[in-house]
Amino acid sequence: MLFKKVREDLNAFKERDPAARSKAEIFFLYNGFHAVLFYRLSHWLYRRKCFFLARWVSQYAKFRTGVEIHPAATIGKGLCIDHGTGIVIGETTVIGDYCLLYQGVTLGGTGKDTGKRHPTLEDHVMVGSGAKILGPFTIGSHSKIAANAVVLEEIPPHSTAVGVPAKVIRQNGKRVESDLMDQVHIPDPVAQELARLAARIEELEKKLEDQ
């Protein structure tokens, strides 16, 4: 079972990285693949209650690859980590099949939850560079999280989320209409304040004239 998942991970890297010339190149030279490989071993040890050894493997992997994956995390088949430096995956994270993570991604907690503290990614989720997904909610299947987005709430399947905090801008191939996403017709706070001051001055002038 372990070797089958490793083979599927290798195939996923080959299919998704156009720069990969061969599976041998991926197996021996790709940090992202090495991080997944170390995770498979540490998770196998963790499930057999070899907790210290599992953590040792995961910490060595962090030093070796720049990717930190807690051995208790649950990760499906075909995970692809592209340029994985800086990725952090927390203890209660669940990742479905054939997901894609880019560098700098954090699948973490908010620090105030207990039990299930980290996110769940369903199948075929893509998370862009530097994105942070924080909390015990679900990212629906086939969804895309934009680079540097900060996700603090559940994202439906087949959605695209961007921004800080992240908002859904596309769902099922259609743009989501929302005033929150209107970046053109935004009120000018300086103009609003000047208008308020002008109205106040006019009000005071009328009071002086009446005296």
pLDDT band at residue 108 under the 50/70/90 scheme: very high
Q: Report whether 127 contacts 145 (CB < 8 A).
A: yes
Which DSSP state fits 116? S
Whether 117 is in a domain gets the answer yes
The pLDDT tens digits for 11-42 are: 888 888 777 888 888 889 899 999 999 999 99
Number of H helices, E strands in the chain: 5, 16
Q: What is the pTM of this model?
A: 0.78
Whether 156 is in a domain gets the answer yes
Whether 190 is in a domain gets the answer no
Which domain covers residue 56, as residue numbers? 2-177
pLDDT band at residue 5 under the 50/70/90 scheme: confident
Which DSSP state fits 35? H
Q: Give one DSSP letter per residue of 43-110, joined into a string.
A: HHHHHTT-HHHHHHHHHHHHHHHS-EE-TT-EE-TT-EEES-TT-EE-TT-EE-TT-EEETT-EEE--
pLDDT band at residue 188 under the 50/70/90 scheme: low
Instruction: Compute, in degrees rounded to 10, the torsion defined by CA atoms 42, 76, 99, 133.
Output: -70
Cβ-based burial of 163 (10 A; exposed 0-12, middle 13-18, buried ≥19): middle
Whether 27 is in a domain gets the answer yes
CATH number for position 103: 2.160.10.10
Among 89, 105, 100, 101, smallest CA distance to 148 is for 105
Whether 199 is in a domain gets the answer no
Whether 35 is in a domain gets the answer yes
pLDDT value of residue 187: 54
Mean pLDDT of 189-200: 78
CA dist 45 → 27, 50, 52 (Å): 21, 5, 9
Whether 105 is in a domain gets the answer yes
Hey, how many other C-beta atoms are within 10 angstroms of the C-beta on 167? 18
Number of domains, the chain: 1
Whether 151 is in a domain gets the answer yes
The pLDDT tens digits for 124-180 are: 999 999 999 999 999 999 999 999 999 999 999 999 999 888 999 888 877 776 544
31, amino acid identity: N
